Amino acid sequence: MVIRHYELGKTHSSNPETLPKQPIFYPNERADISVINSQTVFRSKNFRDVIARRLAGAVQIPTVTYDEMGLVRVDPRWDVFYDFSKYLRESFPNVYEKLEFATLNEHALLYTWKGSDSTLKPLLFMAHSDVVPAPESTLDRWTYPPFSGHYDGEYIWGRGSEDDKSNLIAILTAIDCLLNANFKPRRTVIVAVGFDEEGGAPGGYGARSLAAHLLDVYGEDGMEIILDEGIASIEEHFGTEFALPATAEKGYLDVCVTVDTQGGHSSTPPDHTSIGYLANIIQEIEKNPFQSRLTSKNPTTVYLKKAALYAKEMSPALRKAILDPSAVNEVIKYLNSSHETRTLIRTSTAVDVVRGGEKVNALPETAYILVNHRIAVEESVQIVKDHYLRLISPLAKKWNFAIRGFEGEETGNAGLGTLTLTAHSELEPSPTTNPDDERFGWLAGAIRGVFGEDVIVAPVLLTGNTDTKFYWRLSSQIYRMSPWRASLDTRGTMMHTVDERMPVQGLLEMVKFYHEFIRVVDEKRRSVD
């Protein structure tokens, strides 16, 4: 979330005493747990080093998934996940002894901490054990080898240290601490760990199987709250600390545009080769972006209003525009001025792959592009497909090409060639979690109880996708966040790239949050079912 780029000027916010107060929750029961863990265990250097070593050991097991992976139990690249499961069992013996544990599809892990009150819906935590590769071409740029799990007293270095083994280790550590304090939940707590979130299996071997199992056991809307990974969620915007749980995520679609033409010798070329036609198509795509919109369906709207009300520093013009419903076009203009923030209010378009040509003296018969889209919450897969047909049909007519649409239908005359449109990896935008629901208040109150009453909690939109895409039917309250202060990494997050690392202080914050959130939610009851 990069709204902070819009700090065009500074002024003090409205009088905070006139604003509605956000909730702040601390566990009311078992005060001894707070004394022992929060005031003693969590503050000890020994505990800090223990959790750092746990994460370091997890990083040292290279649970890499690739875009093209074979079946589990067939492709040997999955076998390293057996080592990872063994490592978790050895690192958390008390968790494995006290909680129900199951594996699905060999490497998906499911932990169930049974509560004493079966009428209460479970609290579900999600994580994933797989990581993206560390390309050999980048190895000399790493401060420490990518799977070294090096711990220097401040950071744990290596692939997966942040995304997402930090969340997994923090969740299991928090549960372990509660078990050691003899905490017995009334509300069941579930931890579901996928193993192909990073794209190793297009069909979904891990989270898909976990979600199907949980749906079978608990039914639709069977979870009270689902919490999955997200951005490092405590950030400073406009001179104010914000906690940023994502309450929706954009959809996804890859579009392939293929140009087929006659070949021939390059000594007698036509006006355009298939690559030349493709260049014109790329130009047309980039000249016609999707419309930017800011509606109530987009969590960005709520975030901006919270920022305008509570932020200590903000451009007067931006604050005024945000709080004036008739000035929405001005707010859109602000957001459109950066390629980073405009992705929050429109379907994004990125031409990422171009292929064509085999030899320099042969006209290429076929060339294609792959275009990636992250679909705005107000739009759909079909809207993106329709957009392409509107853009490309006039070109096909102009060039005397046939056009083959997404459903295989063909129109026009293939006098000089054919344009073919295909779609891949279709995913609609997620449902949007209602921030007015009292359960959002539970989350906000627990966040402020851990990170301080000066922290403002505001929902945001996640522009990427998580494993929650398989869990939509299990709860209307789905949040995506990694609960630690991004400012603890002074050089900025390095997720998915060279020198990925996790500050041990951030890891400790995550443990504290999960520890307290479990207790807060355990004491809460919904006023209306």
User: Is residue 342 included in any domain, yes or no?
Assistant: no
* 228 annotated as a binding-site residue: yes
453 catalytic per annotation? no
pLDDT band of 483, cuts 50, 70, 90 = very high
Does 272 carry a binding-site annotation?
no
What pLDDT score was predicted for residue 233? Answer: 86
Cβ contact 49:340 at 8 Å = no
Q: Decide if pLDDT at 2 tops 50.
A: no
Among 36-45, 178-187, 304-313, 361-370, the least confident range: 36-45
Tell me the CA distances in angstroms from 362 to 262, 269, 356, 357, 359, one per residue in order. Answer: 11, 9, 11, 8, 5
Distance (Å, rounded) from C-alpha 526 to C-alpha 475? 14
Split into its structural domains, the chain has a count of: 1
The mean predicted confidence, pLDDT, of the chain is 93
Q: What is the mean pLDDT of residues 348-376?
A: 96
Tokens of 278: 């493709």
Please check whether residue 142 lies inside any domain of the structure.
Answer: yes
* Residue 163 assigned ligand-binding role: yes
Residue 19 is predicted with a pLDDT of: 64
Full DSSP string of 350-365:
EEEEEEE-S-TTEE-S
Q: CA 43, CA 354: separation in Å to the nearest integer?
A: 53
128 assigned ligand-binding residue: yes
In a domain, 100, yes or no: no
Q: What are residue 101's DSSP bridge partners?
A: 111
Residue 12: per-residue pLDDT: 43
User: Was 213 annotated as part of a binding site?
Assistant: no
Annotate 308-358 with DSSP letters as a single string: HHH-SS--HHHHHHHH-GGGHHHHHHHHHTSTTTGGGSS-EEEEEEEEE-S
The pLDDT, as a whole number, for residue 493 is: 63
Percent of the chain whose predicted confidence (pLDDT) is above 70: 95
What is the domain extent for residue 151? Answer: 20-94+128-185+194-218+230-249+431-471+479-522
- The 10 Å Cβ neighbour count of residue 440 is 20
> Per the domain annotation, does 494 fall within a domain?
yes
Between the two ends of the chain, the Cα-to-Cα distance in Å is 33
Task: Check if the beta carbon of residue 259 is closer than 8 Å to that of residue 277.
Answer: yes
Tokens 């809307």: give the residue. 221
* φ and ψ at residue 367, rounded to 5 degrees: -145, 150
To which residue do tokens 């260049």 refer?
Answer: 279
Q: How far apart are CA 60 and CA 321, in angstroms?
A: 50
Domain-located, residue 15: no
Q: Does the residue 198 lie in any domain?
A: yes
Q: What is the CATH number of the domain that holds 65?
A: 3.40.630.10
Taking only the tens place, the pLDDT of each residue in 28-83 is 999 999 888 888 899 999 999 999 999 999 999 999 999 888 999 999 999 999 99
- If one counts every other C-beta atom within 10 angstroms of the C-beta of residue 339, the result is 8
Domain assignment present for residue 389? The answer is: no
Tens-digit pLDDT profile for residues 119-178: 999 999 999 999 999 999 999 999 999 999 999 999 999 999 999 999 999 999 999 999
Write the pLDDT tens digit of every residue in 443-453: 999 999 999 99
- Which of 162, 196, 197, 224 is the catalytic position? 197
Q: Among 3-17, 199-213, 283-297, which range has the highest average pLDDT?
A: 283-297
> Is residue 379 annotated as part of the catalytic site, yes or no?
no
Residue 13's pLDDT band, with cuts at 50, 70 and 90, is very low
- Cα–Cα separations (whole angstroms), residue 398 to 257, 413, 416: 17, 11, 11
The answer to whether the beta carbons of residues 190 and 112 sit under 8 Å apart is yes
Residue 46's nearest CA partner among 525, 504, 418 is: 504
